[in-house]
A and B are shown apart, each in its own frame.
Chain A
Amino acid sequence: EAQVTQNPRYLITVTGKKLTVTCSQNMNHEYMSWYRQDPGLGLRQIYYSMNVEVTDKGDVPEGYKVSRKEKRNFPLILESPSPNQTSLYFCASSFGAGPGELFFGEGSRLTVL
Chain B
Amino acid sequence: GESVGLHLPTLSVQEGDNSIINCAYSNSASDYFIWYKQESGKGPQFIIDIRSNMDKRQGQRVTVLLNKTVKHLSLQIAATQPGDSAVYFCAETVWARNDMRFGAGTRLTVKP
Contact = CB atoms under 8 A, between A and B. Distances in A.
Contact of A99 (B45, B89, B95): B95
B60 interface: no
Contacts, number: 60
Contacts of A56: 98
Interface stretch (A13-21, A39-47, A66-74): A39-47
B42 interface: yes
Interface in B54-112: 89, 91, 93, 95-105
Nearest to B105: A42
Interface in A41-55: 41-45, 48, 50
B98 A50 contact: yes
A1 interface: no
Chain A residues touching B, range:
20 to 34
Given A97-B98, A99-B98, A43 B89 contact: yes
Contact of B32 (A97, A99, A106): A99
Pairs of residues from A and B, 6 with the lowest C-beta to C-beta distance, nearest first: A104-B43, A43-B102, A42-B102, A101-B46, A42-B104, A99-B93
Interface of B: 4, 32, 34, 36, 41-46, 49, 89, 91, 93, 95-105
24 contacts: A4-B43, A35-B102, A42-B104, A45-B100, A45-B101, A59-B101, A90-B43, A90-B44, A97-B98, A98-B95, A98-B96, A98-B98, A99-B93, A99-B95, A101-B46, A102-B34, A102-B36, A102-B44, A102-B100, A104-B43, A104-B45, A106-B41, A106-B43, A107-B42
